[in-house]
Structure 1
């Protein structure tokens, strides 16, 4: 493997090449080129990123303390004329990894280094797939643990890489670690901590992206009314960051800022112009800082990191105008909003949700990628996941993630999963929803089959009948249906007609057993490739709600779910007008206005439901929609600090 660097205008460059490697040992050659004034006597220093150790050397004397290494000239090569190169080599040992050094310095001067410079397209493709280290260094609190995640460790990054990720986006919020103007000095310890995490990630051969993150809505969004102050603070931060990270090689990219937004503007044209101004200033500062930053890949966002045409087109124009081949565009995608947040009845991954994704990625491809500008999907996921991943029904969210990964791949968009701690457990190093990650990972290379639903409900008071479910084969072939490891028998237990899978009444009767409420069996459909699809055979009866009293801060409805699961809730006054938050729709937001508690058998109406547009002393009819298709009405009246709920 080789680590060869591009030239800089002054200083030095280092070419580091492992010319032989075997279990536990390696041989390395080093070429040092002097790009400055003549040198008479030299020391080349570096740090081992993976705990390697040096052994015998030739054409240099090597000393080592812990991971710090210094190579000193011998008599015959002490002098290095301008533009001249000296070479030496050594034997070394390694254990778990043999990662090239991330930084070299010649007589105290940092050298240009860090690996082969790829084109922007090649670099972006090599970053696929990516992962966000969210809600950690981007915390707005005093410490990276302020938002509930543990302190970042090398073990975390080892495990993230082991999941198959090739890149890590490290969002960083700097506002709590800045001195006052006019200098806006970044706190030295915090900057050192960010550099440490970046170094750890790079040492694992991960591509890394850092940015200015929640500063966007803390102070940067005031730019329309505080233009000069915001620009000055932004510029001085990037001057410091460019200088601090110039030693790192090309696997580190800079993103100017996260989800550009403004308040108090005169409208969208001004906001688009301000985003362009900040992007241009960022580009100029980094490029003028020289060294590795002269050609470092820089990531520029659209306004709101939106995929809408009105925001995409101006960034296309700006990037083309900058005439810099080392620029990447970035957008975010959380899907069609009613589905993503589970509001306005958006419970299902349907044709509208899929078309929204298709249109967004087609627009990004046609506008940027087809013109030679690579794109990073810097964040993707579902908005309801910011609370917990149960806001969207399991099968519906699996279909969303399967498609978004597949379609981004076909459009050559690099994806970076947003993970604020809700996906990968940063203590146990396990996925909290392994089935979800299986679909995400599968989508990086192939398609997996899905189905219209993963739930097969049978009503307890009624005889069991056959159920037909539409499969979404996605180019795969159905190979069998299993109950655990036991294969069900075709034509007896199920039939398949094209994409129509029918479970027979006799099979469902057998699988339902004594018909206790809830899941009686879990079936697995297997296909020619990809992740199997699960069907839950569920016995249910219409849920029963009971009268209740409470307050707007705490109102819980006793609910005997009887095996059913809550999908959504409508709220209307007696005159038919919509009640509660989001007054433009009868269907309220899951887990924001209401939430089921299956363990304690309660349905909670949250404070948000009562404090947003709910009138006093007017009865509200709540209609609870369940996944079985059952609907149950309930009646609520708020009177000052008292809330009464009745079934009739």
Structure 2
């Protein structure tokens, strides 16, 4: 492991007792700027000592990078209800071994707590939460523990049931604080996840959230033990990094006058790109500016004022999804992760990957997509070059001609193009002019081979740092769609993709209004209104989309593909019958 990737805290490798004695000696001699904690002895492995800086800023920096144990203890009603099974200590050993320094453990308490005073949390459930927290601490990780989906299950009712909600919230944190009062400062408390407030104005949201977080702060600080100096995480309404929300959070933090506080927000990119709606098919200048502007505001509001920031969740909404076609094109997703973690490093904030199921397989403890994880991991420490797209389309129905991409150097230097272990020849196989990378017709003719539809070859553009950028050479032609009949609950458009990938669907009526459930844009949401079925050769129109169609009125659909090609199709619903025809 490179020196730059070593954890900021120190993990013991020798006998646990010896490590504890050495660290204790350092503390006694005044050689530390923080505190060393060693986890209890483990029968299989020696405990790992974690160095905890005194300052909140240094502590949060030592937590980078972070990972979420999502859809687990926060699942409703039980730990295994959302498909992740029962957590083991090996889970934390895995994420620690792969470079994470901290984990966020979301917990939903509602189904394990009495709904009336004194709102007692079930002792067995509390013991299970403590067991999981202890496993993570013992694995040498910092831990963030919170109150999670309770935010919308009952906390949001504070607008109509103020006193009971406050009593339950206070009781919940009183019990958590008591249970963990002697845990080391490697454990961080997060008061409330993505708080919502039913039918509240913005000003009311600020008022209620300040009341909740101030009460959380008071309860923890007066509960004794290590809680007197434990790092506490405070957030914004919905965890959103909106400027007004962050300004109000700054006011709350400044008013508490406590040096052991951290601001938390979440980030899932520009919404149209994150879910592929409203034409957000690419990680384009709009999506990039949204990220840059958000992190600039984070820097101005908190970092520049000495308040550390924890991005408690980041990712793309419903990406990757191993049960449906990906709504975000892979190369575009890689650009987002690369940009986000670079910007986070430049801003000086810690990022926690939201992992509900999609990244780490909890049964095999293997990354579901190792190449994707490699990109995320690389972005923690260095930049990688990319390009305007990760595919070059070569139409089969026309002579092969030169094709080009634009390189995004991201501060790197271009080294060349490889196919496996063979380096392509500059000037013969490709040319570079500024940031324009052009593949010659002769090289493409060789690469497409017999010109079968689909990916014929994969190249790598390599740079002087970071990971290489994969470029698929794809033979394609315009997709062919066919007429079809179906019902309002089951309708699919027969599709010969011919080497293409579906990007989006534009849906309108003859009067110019939008067709589909997302009525504010003609470009409907991927997998919500439509979804490609490449294996079956079809495009599925979902029941939600079909239900939204006007009775007896023809909708015009334009399917857009990443090759730049489009196909127009007509759909009419009459009762439960649906008819589709090629325009």
TM-score (norm 1): 0.84
The answer to whether the Cα contact below 8 Å between 2:281 and 2:504 also exists between their aligned partners in 1 is yes
Tell me, what secondary structure is at the counterpart of 1:581? coil
Relative to structure 1, is the Cα distance of residues 225 and 498 closer, same or farther in structure 2, using a 3 angstrom cutoff? same
Alpha-carbon deviation of 1:22?
Answer: 5.0
**Cα shift readout 1:173-196 (whole Å, capped 9, x = no counterpart):** 111111131111111111111100
Q: Which residue of 2 aligns with 1:536?
A: 472
Relative to structure 1, is the Cα distance of residues 314 and 539 closer, same or farther in structure 2, using a 3 angstrom cutoff? same
Q: Which residue of 2 aligns with 1:248?
A: 183
Alpha-carbon deviation of 1:538?
Answer: 0.4
Alpha-carbon deviation of 1:514?
Answer: 0.3
**Cα shift readout 1:90-129 (whole Å, capped 9, x = no counterpart):** xxxxx633335xxxxxxxxxxxxx9655210011000000
Confirm or deny that 1:325 pairs with 2:316.
Answer: no
The answer to whether the Cα contact below 8 Å between 2:144 and 2:188 also exists between their aligned partners in 1 is yes
Alpha-carbon deviation of 1:28?
Answer: 5.2
Matches for 1:63-102 after TM superposition, within 5 Å: 96-99=45-48
The answer to which of 520-529 and 303-312 deviates more is 303-312
Tell me, what secondary structure is at the counterpart of 2:569? strand
Q: Which of these residues, 279, 282, 289, is aligned with residue 348 of structure 1? A: 282
Confirm or deny that 1:300 pairs with 2:292.
Answer: no
Relative to structure 1, is the Cα distance of residues 47 and 536 closer, same or farther in structure 2, using a 3 angstrom cutoff? closer
Once residues 598 and 624 of structure 1 are traced to their aligned partners in structure 2, the CA distance between those partners, rounded to angstroms, is 14
Q: Which of these residues, 42, 52, 60, is aligned with residue 51 of structure 1? A: 42
Alpha-carbon deviation of 1:263?
Answer: 1.1
The answer to whether the Cα contact below 8 Å between 2:16 and 2:48 also exists between their aligned partners in 1 is no
Confirm or deny that 1:276 pairs with 2:268.
Answer: no
Q: Which residue of 2 aligns with 1:26?
A: 18
The answer to whether the Cα contact below 8 Å between 2:144 and 2:187 also exists between their aligned partners in 1 is yes
Matches for 1:232-631 after TM superposition, within 5 Å: 232-265=167-200, 267-385=201-319, 387-388=321-322, 390-612=326-548, 614-631=549-566
Once residues 238 and 294 of structure 2 are traced to their aligned partners in structure 1, the CA distance between those partners, rounded to angstroms, is 14
**Cα shift readout 1:461-486 (whole Å, capped 9, x = no counterpart):** 00111011110011111112111111
Higher relative contact order (CA 8 A, sep 6+): 2
Once residues 15 and 208 of structure 2 are traced to their aligned partners in structure 1, the CA distance between those partners, rounded to angstroms, is 54
Alpha-carbon deviation of 1:387?
Answer: 4.5
Matches for 1:173-192 after TM superposition, within 5 Å: 173-192=108-127
Tell me, what secondary structure is at the counterpart of 1:210? strand
Cα RMSD (Å): 2.0
The answer to which of 476-485 and 250-259 deviates more is 476-485
Once residues 174 and 182 of structure 2 are traced to their aligned partners in structure 1, the CA distance between those partners, rounded to angstroms, is 14
Q: For the pair shown, which has the larger CA radius of gyration, 1 or 2? A: 1
Tell me, what secondary structure is at the counterpart of 1:384? coil
The answer to whether the Cα contact below 8 Å between 2:459 and 2:470 also exists between their aligned partners in 1 is yes
Once residues 47 and 564 of structure 2 are traced to their aligned partners in structure 1, the CA distance between those partners, rounded to angstroms, is 58
Alpha-carbon deviation of 1:23?
Answer: 7.2
The answer to whether the Cα contact below 8 Å between 1:222 and 1:264 also exists between their aligned partners in 2 is no
The answer to which of 547-556 and 517-526 deviates more is 547-556
The answer to whether the Cα contact below 8 Å between 1:386 and 1:420 also exists between their aligned partners in 2 is no
Tell me, what secondary structure is at the counterpart of 1:191? helix
The answer to whether the Cα contact below 8 Å between 1:49 and 1:200 also exists between their aligned partners in 2 is no
Give 1 or 2: higher strand fraction. 1
Q: Which residue of 2 aligns with 1:216?
A: 151
Q: Which residue of 2 aligns with 1:35?
A: none
Structure 2: where are the runs of 5+ without partners?
A: 1-9, 25-36
Relative to structure 1, is the Cα distance of residues 644 and 248 closer, same or farther in structure 2, using a 3 angstrom cutoff? same
Once residues 24 and 357 of structure 1 are traced to their aligned partners in structure 2, the CA distance between those partners, rounded to angstroms, is 44
Tell me, what secondary structure is at the counterpart of 1:362? helix
The answer to whether the Cα contact below 8 Å between 1:556 and 1:603 also exists between their aligned partners in 2 is yes
Alpha-carbon deviation of 1:610?
Answer: 2.1
Alpha-carbon deviation of 1:433?
Answer: 2.2
Once residues 313 and 24 of structure 1 are traced to their aligned partners in structure 2, the CA distance between those partners, rounded to angstroms, is 45
Relative to structure 1, is the Cα distance of residues 330 and 191 closer, same or farther in structure 2, using a 3 angstrom cutoff? same
Tell me, what secondary structure is at the counterpart of 2:570? strand
Once residues 442 and 156 of structure 1 are traced to their aligned partners in structure 2, the CA distance between those partners, rounded to angstroms, is 21
Confirm or deny that 1:202 pairs with 2:137.
Answer: yes
Question: How many residues align structurally?
Answer: 559
Once residues 233 and 416 of structure 2 are traced to their aligned partners in structure 1, the CA distance between those partners, rounded to angstroms, is 46
Tell me, what secondary structure is at the counterpart of 2:234? strand
TM-score (norm 2): 0.93
